[in-house]
Amino acid sequence: MTFRATVLTLYPEMFPGHLGTSLAGKALERGQWSLEAVQIRDFAEDRHRTVDDTPAGGGAGMVLRADILAKAIDHASAEVPRPRLLMSPRGRPLTQQRVRELAEGDGVVIVCGRFEGVDQRVIDARELEEVSIGDYILSGGEPAALTLLDAVVRILPGVMGNALSGTHESFEHGLLEHPHYTRPQLFEGQGIPPVLTSGNHAAIDKWRHEQSLKLTRERRPDLLQPVTK
């Protein structure tokens, strides 16, 4: 079954963006996944197509209305049930494990927030899973949605030429990926580590694992906690 991605956004012209090129773009052309960008304003009822209002209790900015967004979500969810995600800086951090779980399903419905946020009532009523791609603020959820879809689409069956490419990467086994080398044999006085050209695959695997551990300890020691328990 084709992986179906539906994105609810105020800026549908931002899609497919970079997902229309390279591996994801070729997979899109081949029909290995599909992408629909739905304009949230199409579900507004007034002639100005208003989708937001001032925050209850006062404060700066505007908030996306629950009633209008609920109609858009219901429209996108009318057929096969799919996970409903809201890209949000207060969401749970996106992990490679969650990416793989999503890639194994039929697709996703992604809500792209704007302004100050989304009315909490629609988040609760439509059981939106809030997802964050990092501890920083973007102008809207669209770049985050593109990032999430990039991570998911690349590991869909048949998208990558070498099926093993997606299994030997950072975060796949709880560690950062080991360093890589290729020709030329000598670059500005630095050579390739001899073990990598030794032909001893057991020694190469051991070296790569040791390098992954070393890099993880130096850069992301938090990742080692679940590994060493």
Mean pLDDT of the chain: 93
Asked whether residue 160 is domain-assigned, the answer is no
Owning domain of residue 208: 168-228
Residues 73 and 144 in one domain: yes
User: Are both 14 and 44 inside the same structural domain?
Assistant: yes
Mean per-residue pLDDT, 38-52: 96
Amino acid 212: pLDDT: 95
Residues 90 and 176 in one domain: no
pLDDT average, residue stretch 135-164: 92
- Give the model confidence (pLDDT) of 186-213 as tens digits: 999 999 999 999 999 999 999 999 999 9
Domain membership flag for residue 38: yes
Answer whether residue 124 is part of any domain. yes
Same domain flag for 173 and 141: no
Structural domain tally of the chain? Answer: 2
Res 169: pLDDT: 59
Question: Among residues 153, 176, 203, which one ends one of the domains?
Answer: 153
228 pLDDT tier (thresholds 50, 70, 90): very low
**Confidence class of residue 171 from pLDDT cuts 50, 70 and 90?**
low
| CA within 13 Å, CB half, 196 | 13
Question: What CATH number does residue 220 fall under?
Answer: 1.10.1270.20
Q: Are residues 35 and 82 in the same domain?
A: yes
Contact 4, 30 (CB under 8 A): no
Question: Is the pLDDT score of 227 beyond 50?
Answer: no
Q: Say if residue 178 is in the same domain as residue 100.
A: no
* pLDDT at residue 141, as a whole number: 97
Q: What is the pLDDT, as a whole number, of residue 64? A: 97
Residue 27 lies in a domain: yes
What confidence score (pLDDT) does residue 10 get? 98
Confirm whether 107 is domain-assigned: yes
Position with higher pLDDT, 229 vs 19? 19
Which of 153, 183, 212 is the C-terminal boundary of a domain? 153
CATH code at position 112: 3.40.1280.10
Q: Are residue 100 and residue 189 in the same domain, yes or no? A: no
Q: Is residue 57 assigned to a domain?
A: yes
158 belongs to a structural domain = no
CA distances to 65, 67, 142, 161, 228 from 105, in Å: 29, 28, 21, 21, 30
pLDDT for 174: 83
Q: Which residues contact 173 (CB under 8 A, 6 or more apart)?
A: none
Domain limit, last residue, from 119, 153, 187: 153
Let me know whether 33 and 127 are in one domain. Answer: yes
Average pLDDT in the 35-42 region? Answer: 98
Are 129 and 188 part of one and the same domain? no
Q: Are residues 129 and 57 in the same domain?
A: yes
Residue 101 vs residue 173, higher pLDDT: 101
Residue 163 pLDDT greater than 60, yes or no: no
- 88: helix, strand or coil: strand
Contacts 24+ apart (CB under 8 A), 46-53: 51/10, 52/114, 52/115
Asked if residue 163 belongs to a domain, the reply is: no
Same domain, 173 and 145: no
Q: Within this chain, do residues 147 and 172 fall inside the same structural domain, yes or no? A: no
Cα separation, 18 vs 147, whole angstroms: 10
